[in-house]
């Protein structure tokens, strides 16, 4: 897919809805996905929604990002979230509060609100990667009318995740449909020796 069109749309949606903390201006052509901002992305700022990490630019990709890139997914940007995942409405973000694309006066849910909102609103992106400690995928999926999958603990490697609660965190997905969600989940799932809790 033409990255120029995807980025143009992402910028316009961001002006209206505040879905992104950082847009990846160096995005390559491919199937566009957004990544929650507590998942490390090489050479793309990763803040976990906090000013503490305002200037953190990882030198490596999280396992899920590596796997997605290997399957020709391309990162549009890093989505707005509650600071370090603490919240259920994405209103505790140090940068921007994402607006619900169904009703701008309402919350996107949280803490993965930016990703769910972008997945619903984008014409080009059909899925995104989120993360849940205790409802941070299912809540925004319900609020934004997209399909969210919070996988069984250990199914998806958390290597490269900025943890909230190590024994509870799960990286999962949003999609416009069950098919879109399951396709991306199958891409990022699987054992990873770098994560001791991976199965």
Catalytically annotated residues: 36, 111, 136
CA 62 to chain centre: 12
**Is 90 exceeded by the pLDDT of residue 1?**
no
Given phi > 0 = left and psi -120 to 50 = alpha, else beta, which region is 83? Answer: beta
The three-state secondary structure class of 51 is helix
pTM summary value: 0.97
> pLDDT, tens digit, for every residue of 148-196?
999 999 999 999 999 999 999 999 999 999 999 999 999 999 999 999 9
CA 56 to chain centre: 17
Dump strand ranges (E) for the chain.
20-23, 31-36, 73-79, 99-100, 103-107, 127-132, 147-149, 170-175
> pLDDT, tens digit, for every residue of 108-158?
999 999 999 999 999 999 999 999 999 999 999 999 999 999 999 999 999
The three-state secondary structure class of 132 is strand
Q: What is the DSSP letter of 33?
A: E
């Amino acid at each position: 897919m033409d990255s120029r069109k995807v980025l143009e749309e992402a910028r316009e949606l961001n002006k209206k809805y505040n879905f992104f903390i950082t847009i990846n201006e160096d995005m390559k052509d491919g199937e566009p996905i957004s990544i929650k901002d507590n998942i490390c992305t090489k050479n793309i700022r990763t803040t976990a929604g906090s000013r503490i990490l305002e200037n953190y630019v990882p030198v490596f990709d999280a396992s899920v990002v590596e796997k997605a890139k290997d399957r020709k997914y391309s990162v549009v940007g890093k989505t707005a979230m509650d600071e370090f995942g603490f919240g259920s409405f994405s209103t505790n973000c140090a940068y921007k509060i994402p607006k619900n694309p169904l009703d701008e006066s309402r919350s996107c849910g949280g803490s993965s609100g930016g990703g769910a909102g972008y997945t619903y609103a984008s014409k080009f992106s059909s899925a995104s990667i989120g993360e849940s400690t205790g409802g941070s995928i299912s809540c925004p999926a319900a609020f934004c009318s997209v399909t969210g999958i919070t996988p069984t603990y250990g199914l998806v490697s958390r290597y490269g995740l900025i943890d909230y609660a190590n024994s509870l965190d799960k990286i999962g997905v949003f999609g416009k449909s069950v098919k879109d969600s399951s396709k991306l989940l199958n891409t990022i799932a699987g054992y990873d020796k770098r994560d001791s809790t991976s199965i």
